[in-house]
Amino acid sequence: MGLNNRYEFVLLFDVKDGNPNGDPDAGNLPRMDAETGMGLVTDVCLKRKVRNFVQMTQADNANRKIFVREKAILNKMIDESHEQEGVKDKEKGDKTEAAKNWMCKNYYDIRTFGAVMSTGKNAGQVRGPIQMTFSRSIDPVVASEHTITRMAVTTEKEAEKQSGENRTMGRKFTIPYGLYRCHGFVSAHLAKQTGFDEDDLELFWQSLMQMFDHDRSASRGEMSARGLYVFKHSNELGNAPATVLLDRVQVERKNEIDVARRFNDYQIEVDESNWPDGVELIKMLG
């Protein structure tokens, strides 16, 4: 079933004693706004987690494959689309459009987030119906640096240089605690162009709520989805400005808390006064 409604959503997630999204250009320090000290997590980081969740849970579903995945050769998959029935016999322009449609049908992340598929045999470009902003922490965060040790060496030559214990030193960066907020948008018009439907949307909501439970690592510490507030419009065009709706979800540190170190140190309220007609609030989490 196709998508007939516009959506916006607010996603809240937190990190405890971990690095939610390291910056490789800054020695893998947690990303931060240099002026305010607010923590940042890129949209690409969250999309990666959604892709991993779908790849893990939908491995047997032929039309929910993942295009952008680890060690994937993108041009090989693009070239494959040109060899499909209904594509290979078409003329150049029609072949590109047919290849694009085949890619949208078979790859979940293409019809969800879009993709540039003109790097090999041309399969066009797709603008995805779901877009997300950078996530920003509610309060400034502080990156803690920790020295760690490894009681082993990688080569015999390295072992010969060391006397006594085989100990190698390293560094690790963590944030003691941070609550992050992300905004997202779902376009019914773009969904029709890619074939993104209601079942795909349900899988996306499930991914947002469960992706951190299946993405554990020592560097990321303890990360959890804490809130998912979805605004559903009664039509494709929408019934109210996105900003007005998103601003209704208010997240503030409690007055008696000086430094937040857990989710319960925050207070979340949704302003439901003068609610716009044709908009439904769905509290999926929180």
Residue 62, pLDDT > 90, answer yes
pTM (2 d.p.): 0.94
Strand partners, 194: none
CA distance 233 to 16: 35
Which amino acid is residue 7, in one-letter code?
Answer: Y
Higher local confidence (pLDDT), 156 or 270: 270
Q: pLDDT tens digit string along 228-264? A: 999 999 999 999 999 999 999 999 999 999 999 999 9
State whether residue 113 is helix, strand or coil.
helix
The CA–CA distances, whole Å, from 278 to 189, 190, 200, 237 equal: 18, 21, 23, 11
Distance CA 71, CA 167 (A): 32
> What are the structure tokens assigned to 81, written together?
């689309």
**Chain segment 19-53, per-residue pLDDT in tens:** 999 999 999 999 999 999 999 999 999 999 999 99
| Average pLDDT for the chain | 94
Residue 152's identity, in one-letter code, is A
Q: Residue with structure tokens 């609030």?
A: 281
Give residue 106's identity as a one-letter amino acid code: N
Look at residue 164 and tell me whether its pLDDT is greater than 60.
no
Give residue 165's pLDDT. Answer: 65
DSSP state of 16: E
- Spatial distance between the Cα atoms of 228 and 207, rounded to a whole number of angstroms: 11
- For residue 183, pLDDT over 70 is answered with yes
Name the percent of the chain lying above pLDDT 70: 98
Q: What pLDDT score does 157 carry? A: 78
Residue 84 DSSP symbol: S
The pLDDT value recorded for residue 196 is 98
Residue 187 CA to chain centroid, in angstroms? Answer: 17
pLDDT score recorded for residue 158: 73
Which residues on neighbouring strands pair with residue 225, listed in sequence order?
13
* Residue 172: Cβ within 10 Å count: 14
| pLDDT of amino acid 69 | 94
pLDDT at 223: 98
112 Cβ contact partners less than 8 Å away, ≥ 6 residues apart: 50, 128, 129, 130, 194, 196, 200, 204
Q: Assess whether pLDDT exceeds 60 at residue 56.
A: yes
pLDDT at 163: 58
| C-alpha span between 55 and 69 (Å, rounded) | 9
Q: Is the pLDDT of residue 132 over 70?
A: yes
